[in-house]
Structure 1
Amino acid sequence: MRKALILFSSFAVLMAFGQEKRFVSVKKAMKLMGTAFEITVVAPSEEIGYINIDEAVSEITRIEEMISSWNIDSETSQINKNAGVNPVKVSQELFSLIERANKISEITDGAFDITYASMDKLWRFDGSMQRPPTDQQIRESVSKVGYKRIVMDVEAQTVFLPEVGMKIGFGAIGKGYAADRAKEFLISKGVKGGLINASGDLTTWGTKATGEKWMIGIANPLSKDKVFSWLPVIESSVATSGNYEKYVVFKGQKYSHIIDPRTGYPTKGINSVTIFAKYAELCDAMATAVFVMGKDSGIHMINQIDGVEVVVIDSENKIHKSSGILFNNNQ
């Protein structure tokens, strides 16, 4: 009887294994928020996977309609339009996003600042610049920048920019936030695993359909087809900022398209910054902040923040990393 029970139990286990659902990875690339997005989901079938992706796209589009500076009807555009005139009542979602952005500005001593949008666009990285702007022009360009000037009324849920010409923009945090929200939405729908890549702002959950971990490569800015090291991204996010595509050179000096909002001058000394953290929103903002702060100050700051790590590749193509990153610099 005991032997029969063992055989029956083994048969039941085999039956259960045979009935286990097989999942597939479904991927789709598209343009959203003015940039390249790629969404991968692990689903029971291709049909369900594409439905999940379409739902994620709807969520990202909703966020874009809220934070876009190009959409004249967005809440962000209304705040900018009423600068120096009236406070604007906004949704709790946008109010909270601005609060978190300002907190990052405090942590980074203004290296990250959503009022960077107030800067006059003196620097152009499309090949049309013949000479750098003057020091006076640069000083004037940042005269209306400063996150501490944003007036927020918690009870009324309003945002006010007190000076005409002030603007806010979410170019250095918006894609990461959208990726996070799309991820949360898909998880709420029961999607067991996936990856959202918002033009370098990447977030993952679960595993691949094969059960393998999601992996990202730290690329060589001087040869993008080569990888310094592969690192697993487990229930986490990554964002990379680089100056290898948008920059100008004057008198042999390379100037990045990433501008210090405190000074109006382009950053120097770094080729790329890759941030690892739980949320893509934080990765997105911190990648910009470290670029602005510089290698030493940026890594020192990241080492003080739990759950956040950084890999910096300097202008001489040397790798530097925070204390929690475990790979050999000589790879």
Structure 2
Amino acid sequence: MVTVHKAMELMGSRFDITVVASSEDVGLINIDEAAAEIERIEALISSWNPDSETSFINQNAGIKPVKVSQELFSLIERAVQVSQLTDGAFDITYASLDNIWKFDGTMKEMPSADVVKSSISKVGYRHIVLDAKQQTVYLAKKGMKISFGAIGKGYAADKAKELLVSKQVVGGIINAAGDLTTWGTKANGEKWLIGIANPLSAERIFSWLPVVESSVATSGNYEKHFFHEGVKYSHIIDPRSGYPTSGVNSVTVFAKTAEMCDALATAIYILGKDEGLELISQLGGIEVVLIDSENKVYQSSGILLEKTP
């Protein structure tokens, strides 16, 4: 058996797909099949593609319910459940936020409270009306939008893994720009290892963890942030308040599915250390490593960290 790896641009991000196969040729065919599945998911959930089901839902916000495929309906249903679980810290209607925050170095002062209030007026998962019988999705407010930016890459990684497992691919790792999922082992029987980035430098690893039949996602403020009156604000906006989050540098979540990791990493980042760790303590089979703004490391009970020298 050999380990075959390929990096490619998918869903506007870098995807690294690694599989264990009988030969390099077979491995490359498997990887191409996984890439095709990821492209299929993108066509379904992209809010940039005007012809996608998601765009059709957005175009009809405040107008009428839209009948969608069972796959998209189920994804939105699960997204709403995560919103309920996290008290709205995770919310796919965050796409309705006006683009009032800039993290490119051009922003010099905070927007006014009125501007922020106006920005969040169309945000709120409670305004997503789902009809399971008719399989329709309705956004109750005009101008509302949904986007899968905080869950879509994780979902795509899960579906690609599901496809490869169904084709008897014995092991692999799919890394969707930091949202990754694994199964089996490396060709030599060793466990897959993932590194948790040092918040002071995304290029440096501060701990390695073996991952078996599991998924991982990290939310961090490595690249995009701005300072105001000495406080560092992340590019991750709290959809409930309309303000950027502060107090946390990175959150890494471990769970069975990349979709759940992806959604919870964002939510816990927004909830902050105390609420975030409390939430994870109530959920079975999910672990977290959180690094606060003072670079203190907190972890849930099931995590054993191996520090790098």
Shorter-chain TM band: over 0.9
Q: Which amino acid aligns with 2:87?
A: D
| Aligned residue among 12, 17, 23 for 1:45 | 23
5 Å-filtered alignment, 1:259-274, equals 259-274=237-252
Write the distance in 1 (CA, Å) between the matches of 2:7 and 2:241: 37
Larger Rg: 1
Change (3 A) 1:329 1:206: closer
* 4+ aligned runs moved over 4 Å, structure 1: 328-331
| Aligned residue among 56, 63, 67 for 2:45 | 67
Write the distance in 2 (CA, Å) between the matches of 1:330 and 1:71: 43
Q: Which amino acid aligns with 2:2?
A: V
Q: Could you tell me the TM-score, scaled by structure 2's length? A: 0.98
In structure 1, what is the equivalent of residue 212 of structure 2?
234
Offset, 1:130: 2.6
Write the distance in 2 (CA, Å) between the matches of 1:251 and 1:274: 28
Identity of aligned residues (%): 67
Write the distance in 2 (CA, Å) between the matches of 1:188 and 1:121: 41
- Given that 2:207 and 2:307 are in contact with CA atoms closer than 8 Å, whether structure 1 keeps it comes out as no
Q: Which amino acid aligns with 2:164?
A: L
Offset, 1:225: 3.7
- Given that 2:205 and 2:308 are in contact with CA atoms closer than 8 Å, whether structure 1 keeps it comes out as no
1:179 equivalenced with 2:157 (yes/no): yes
In structure 2, what is the equivalent of residue 130 of structure 1?
108
1:89 equivalenced with 2:98 (yes/no): no
Q: Which amino acid aligns with 2:274?
A: D
Change (3 A) 1:313 1:330: farther
In structure 2, what is the equivalent of residue 323 of structure 1?
301
Write the distance in 2 (CA, Å) between the matches of 1:308 and 1:200: 17
Offset, 1:251: 2.1
In structure 2, what is the equivalent of residue 150 of structure 1?
128
| Aligned residue among 12, 18, 40 for 1:34 | 12
Offset, 1:58: 0.3
Change (3 A) 1:88 1:272: same
Offset, 1:178: 0.2
Write the distance in 2 (CA, Å) between the matches of 1:130 and 1:269: 20
Offset, 1:98: 0.4
Unaligned 5+ runs, structure 2 = none
**Secondary structure of residue in 2 paired with 1:96:** helix
Q: Which amino acid aligns with 2:276?
A: G
Write the distance in 1 (CA, Å) between the matches of 2:171 and 2:306: 30
Which shows bigger deviation, 227-236 or 181-190?
227-236
Q: Which amino acid aligns with 2:211?
A: V
In structure 2, what is the equivalent of residue 3 of structure 1?
none
Unaligned 5+ runs, structure 1 = 1-22
**Secondary structure of residue in 2 paired with 1:320:** strand
Q: Which amino acid aligns with 2:209?
A: L
**Secondary structure of residue in 2 paired with 1:39:** strand
Offset, 1:223: 2.6
- Given that 1:319 and 1:329 are in contact with CA atoms closer than 8 Å, whether structure 2 keeps it comes out as no
In structure 1, what is the equivalent of residue 291 of structure 2?
313
**How many pairs were matched up?**
309
Write the distance in 1 (CA, Å) between the matches of 2:103 and 2:42: 24
Write the distance in 2 (CA, Å) between the matches of 1:328 and 1:300: 23
- Given that 2:208 and 2:308 are in contact with CA atoms closer than 8 Å, whether structure 1 keeps it comes out as no
Change (3 A) 1:209 1:330: closer
Write the distance in 1 (CA, Å) between the matches of 2:66 and 2:201: 47
CA-based RMSD:
1.2
In structure 1, what is the equivalent of residue 192 of structure 2?
214
Render the CA deviation track for 1:71-101: whole Å, top value 9, x for unaligned: 0000000000000111100000000000000
1:109 equivalenced with 2:74 (yes/no): no
| Aligned residue among 261, 265, 271 for 1:293 | 271
Q: Could you tell me the TM-score, scaled by structure 1's length? A: 0.91
